[in-house]
């Protein structure tokens, strides 16, 4: 069964999108997959853009990262076949899909360089979620922190898991090789 997730970019009063924008991941919704995509979208949003009229000039459009719709567009561009903008929570009074494994909350904040960056919180369902699938019925798995810090943690965790698998397979291989036939 696939790991399903919603990424919620709440509205922040800067545009007409007050309830925010939701992105749905039907599969690959675990943090080891979604957090790197969030970092990739974040870096894409902070990258200067080449001008159309004057191609020799670059423009800073990182202000768009503070708007929920743009943030969701950046995220969907990192995996256009695996992620989709979803309106279900908006149409059903904030109710989420009842079989979600993760809920990511992506909030824009002004960084030290006076440009937008994202803080991300990872939430998982509580028991009450199965009867009433709303954000209120989830608990915090990873508290809100800058996307770069969260990505470094998950990169380190994935590397440790990979090393443990390698050690385990090396041990299995040495036992198999040493066994007489």
Quickly state the pLDDT bin for 176 (edges 50, 70, 90). low
pLDDT digits (tens, 9 = 90+) for 120-140: 999 999 999 999 999 999 999
N- to C-terminal Cα distance for the chain?
A: 39
Per mean pLDDT, which range of 40-44, 76-80, 111-115, 122-126 is the poorest? 111-115
Of 34, 14, 38, nearest in space to 25 by CA: 34
Q: What is the pLDDT of residue 158?
A: 82
SS3 state of residue 169: helix
For CA atoms 23, 25, 30, 32, give the dihedral sign. negative
Q: Which of 173, 155, 127 is nearest to 33 (CA)?
A: 155
Confidence of residue 51 (pLDDT cuts 50, 70, 90): confident
């Amino acid at each position: 069964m696939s790991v399903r997730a919603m990424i919620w970019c709440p509205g922040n009063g800067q545009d007409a999108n007050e309830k925010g924008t939701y992105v749905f991941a039907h599969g690959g919704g675990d943090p080891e997959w979604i957090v790197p995509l969030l970092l990739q979208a974040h870096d894409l949003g902070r990258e200067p853009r080449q001008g159309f009229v004057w191609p020799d000039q670059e423009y800073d459009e990182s202000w768009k990262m503070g708007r929920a719709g743009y943030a969701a567009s950046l995220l969907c561009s990192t995996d256009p076949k695996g992620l989709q903008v979803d309106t279900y929570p908006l149409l059903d009074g904030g109710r989420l899909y009842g079989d979600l494994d993760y809920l990511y909350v992506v909030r824009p904040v002004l960084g030290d360089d006076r440009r937008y960056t994202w803080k991300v919180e990872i939430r998982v369902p509580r028991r009450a979620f199965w009867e009433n699938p709303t954000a209120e019925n989830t608990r915090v798995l990873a508290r809100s922190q800058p996307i770069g810090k969260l990505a470094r943690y998950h990169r380190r965790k994935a590397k440790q898991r990979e090393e443990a698998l390698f050690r385990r397979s090396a041990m299995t291989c040495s036992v198999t090789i040493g066994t007489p036939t």
